[in-house]
Amino acid sequence: MQRRDKSINYVEFGVADMTRTKAFYASAFGWTFTDYGPDYCEFSDGQMQGGFDASVPPRPGLPLIVLYGDDLEGLQKAVTREGGSISKPIFDFLGGKRFQFIDPNGYELGVWSAA
């Protein structure tokens, strides 16, 4: 995968429960994982990588990470089915639609789709 200058390259999250976190993102978003010991795994969404670190406690807050999704209604259902909660239901904005959710560790993320 080619790296782009001045773009987000990697994001790390502290997590309380590695197994639950991986199950949530695998089922809701189809992410894959590479384990690097019991406390760290790298995730891939097929376009970007990041890490889940169980040795660091979750610290929910800003900045807001926003994912892209073609089927917002389906993804919103997947988030709630897998134990996440919707913090802002689907809403319109100039250029598309978006919703925001809280994952099992308390992080708030967004998912948007083009108009």
C-alpha count within 13 angstroms, C-beta hemisphere, residue 31: 25
pTM for the complete prediction? 0.80
pLDDT at 115: 80
Structural domains of the chain sorted by starting position, each given as residue range(s) with its CATH number in brackets: 10-114 (3.10.180.10)
Confidence of residue 34 (pLDDT cuts 50, 70, 90): very high
pLDDT in tens, 3-27: 676 666 789 899 999 999 999 999 9
What's the average model confidence in pLDDT over 41-55? Answer: 93
Q: By 3-state DSSP, what share of the chain in percent is helix, strand and coil, each rounded to 5? A: 20, 40, 40
CB 95 within 8 A of CB 115: yes
pLDDT at 60: 83
For 72, the 3-state DSSP assignment is helix
pLDDT in tens, 37-46: 999 999 999 9
CB 69 within 8 A of CB 75: yes
